[in-house]
Chain A
Amino acid sequence: MNAVALTPKLHDCRDAFAAVLERLGAENNKVVAVCNDSVGSSKLGGFKSKFPERLVNVGIAEQNMVGVGAGLANGGMLPFVCAASCFLTGRSLEQVKADIAYSNANVKLVGISSGMAYGELGPTHHSIEDFAWMRVLPNLPVIAPCDSIETTAAVEWAAQYDGPVFLRLSRVGVPDLLPVGHKFELGKANLLRDGDAVTLIANGTLTHRMMKAADILAAKGIEARVLNMASVRPIDVEAVIKAATETGAILTAEEHSTFGGLGSAIAEVVVAEAPVSMKILGVPGIFAPTGSAEFLLDEFGMAPAAVAEAATALIARKKTGA
Chain B
Amino acid sequence: MQTTELERIAREIRIRDLQAVFEAGAGHIGGEMSAIDIMAALYFKVLKLWPDQPKHPDRDRFVLSKGHTACALYVTLAKRGFLPEEEISTFLKPHSRLNGHPNCNKVPGVETNTGPLGHGLPVAVGMAKAAKLTGASYHTYVLTGDGEMQEGSNWEAISSAAQFALDNLTLVIDHNRFQQGAALSETNNLAPFRTKLEAFGWEVLEIDGNNMSEVVDALQHRSTGRPCGIVAHTNKGHGISFMQDKVDWHHKVPNAEQYKIAMAELEEAL
B residues in contact with A102, CB < 8 Å: 103, 113
Partner of B123, one of A53, A54, A76, A99: A99
Q: Which of the segments B82-90, B152-160, B178-186, B254-262 contacts the partner chain?
A: B152-160
Pick the contact of B122 from A75, A76, A95 — CB < 8 Å? A95
Determine whether the beta carbon of B123 is less than 8 Å from that of A77. Answer: no
A-B contact pairs, 25 of them (CB 8 A): A30-B134, A58-B160, A59-B156, A61-B160, A63-B153, A64-B153, A67-B157, A68-B125, A68-B126, A70-B112, A70-B126, A71-B122, A72-B130, A75-B129, A75-B134, A76-B57, A77-B130, A79-B126, A99-B112, A99-B113, A99-B122, A103-B104, A103-B105, A103-B113, A105-B112
Contact in complex: B156, A64 (CB < 8 Å): yes
Nearest CB in chain A to that of B138: its residue:
A75
Q: Is the C-beta of B1 less than 8 angstroms from some C-beta in chain A?
A: no
B156 close to A61 (CB less than 8 A): yes
Q: Is the CB of A98 within 8 A of B113?
A: yes
Given contacts A68-B125, A71-B124, A95-B122, contact A77 B112 (CB under 8 A): no
Which chain B residues border A30 with CB–CB below 8 Å? 134
Query: In the complex, what's the smallest C-beta–C-beta distance from A261 to chain B, in angstroms?
Result: 25
In the complex, what's the smallest C-beta–C-beta distance from A79 to chain B, in angstroms?
8
Per-residue 0/1 for B109-130: is the Cβ within 8 Å of any A Cβ (1 yes, 0 no)?
Answer: 0011111101101111111111
Q: Which 8 A-B pairs have the closest CB atoms?
A: A71-B126, A75-B130, A67-B122, A64-B156, A61-B156, A68-B126, A71-B127, A63-B153
Within 8 A of A (CB), among B95-113: 103-105, 111-113
The answer, yes or no, to whether A94 is at the interface (CB within 8 Å) is yes
Residue from B103, B127, B157 within 8 A of A64 (CB atoms): B157
Contacts of A79 in B (CB 8 A): 126
Nearest CB in chain B to that of A36: its residue:
B156
CB distance from A56 to the nearest CB of B (A): 6
> In chain A, residues 47-101, which have Cβ atoms closer than 8 Å to a Cβ of chain B?
53-54, 56, 58-59, 61, 63-77, 79, 94-95, 98-99
A245 at the interface (CB under 8 A from B): no
Chain A residues with Cβ under 8 A from B123's Cβ? 67-68, 70-71, 74, 99
Which of A54, A72, A79 has the largest number of chain B CB atoms within 10 A? A72
Q: Closest approach, in angstroms, between the C-beta of A104 and any C-beta of chain B?
A: 5
Could you tell me if A71 and B125 are in contact, using CB atoms closer than 8 angstroms? yes
Q: Knowing A75-B134, A75-B136 are in contact, say whether A99-B119 is a contact too (CB < 8 A).
A: yes
- Seen from chain B, the residues whose Cβ lies within 8 Å of a Cβ on chain A are 57, 61, 103-105, 111-116, 118-119, 121-131, 133-134, 136, 140, 152-153, 156-157, 159-160, 163
Report whether A71 and B130 are in contact in the complex, using a CB–CB cutoff of 8 Å: yes
Bound: A130/B112 CA distance, A: 24
Instruction: Count residues of A near B (Cβ-Cβ below 8 Å).
Output: 32
B205 → A minimal CB distance (Å): 23
B55 and chain A: residue at smallest CB distance: A74
In the bound complex, residues from chain B placing their C-beta under 8 Å from that of A68 are 122-123, 125-126, 129, 157, 160
Most B CB within 10 A of own CB, among A58, A66, A77, A105: A58
| Assembled-state Cα–Cα distance A202/B165 (Å) | 46
Measured between beta carbons, the chain A residues less than 8 angstroms from B133 are 32, 53-54, 72, 75, 77
B116 to chain A, nearest CB (A): 5
Within the assembled complex, what's the spacing in Å between the Cα atoms of A30 and B104?
Answer: 22
Alpha-carbon distance A72/B127, docked complex (angstroms): 5
Given contacts A59-B160, A61-B160, A67-B157, 7 further A-B contacts (CB under 8 A): A64-B157, A71-B127, A72-B130, A74-B126, A75-B136, A77-B134, A104-B105
Q: How far is the CB of A34 from chain B (nearest CB, A)?
A: 8
A230-257 near B? 1/0 per residue, CB < 8 Å: 0000000000000000000000000000
Chain A residues within an 8 Å CB radius of B157: 61, 64, 67-68
Which residue on B lies nearest to A53, using beta carbons?
B133
Q: Which residues of A contact B122 (CB under 8 A)?
A: 63-68, 70-71, 95, 99
* CB < 8 Å neighbour of B127 from A59, A65, A74, A95: A74
Query: Inside 8 A of B126's CB, which chain A residues have their CB?
Result: 67-75, 79
- Residues from chain A with Cβ under 8 Å of B130 in the complex: 71-77
A111 to chain B, nearest CB (A): 19
A30→B57 CA distance, assembly (Å): 14
Residue of B113, B123, B131, B159 with most partner-chain A CB within 10 A: B123
Mark A203-228 against chain B: 1 for CB-CB distance below 8 A, else 0. Answer: 00000000000000000000000000
Write out the residue numbers on chain A whose beta carbons fall within 8 Å of the beta carbon of B152. Answer: 63
Known contacts A69-B126, A74-B61; A95/B119 CB under 8 A: yes
Known: A94-B116, A98-B119. A67 touches B125 (CB 8 A): yes
Specify the chain A residue showing the minimal Cβ separation from B101: A98
Residues of A within 8 A of B131 (CB): 75
1/0 per residue, CB under 8 A from B, across A3-33: the answer is: 0000000000000000000000000001010
Cα(A65)–Cα(B122), bound, Å: 8
Interface string of A101-114 (1 = CB under 8 A from B): 01111000000000
Instruction: Report yes or no: B129 in contact with A72, Cβ–Cβ below 8 A.
Output: yes
Q: Across the interface, which residues of A come within 8 angstroms of B163, CB to CB?
A: 59
Is B159 a contact of A61 with CB atoms below 8 Å?
yes
Cα–Cα, bound, A76→B126 (Å) = 10
Q: Are B125 and A98 in contact (CB under 8 A)?
A: no
Q: How far is the CB of A239 from chain B (nearest CB, A)?
A: 31
**Residues of the A chain whose Cβ atoms lie less than 8 Å from the Cβ of B61:** 74-75
**Is the Cβ of A98 less than 8 Å from the Cβ of B156?**
no
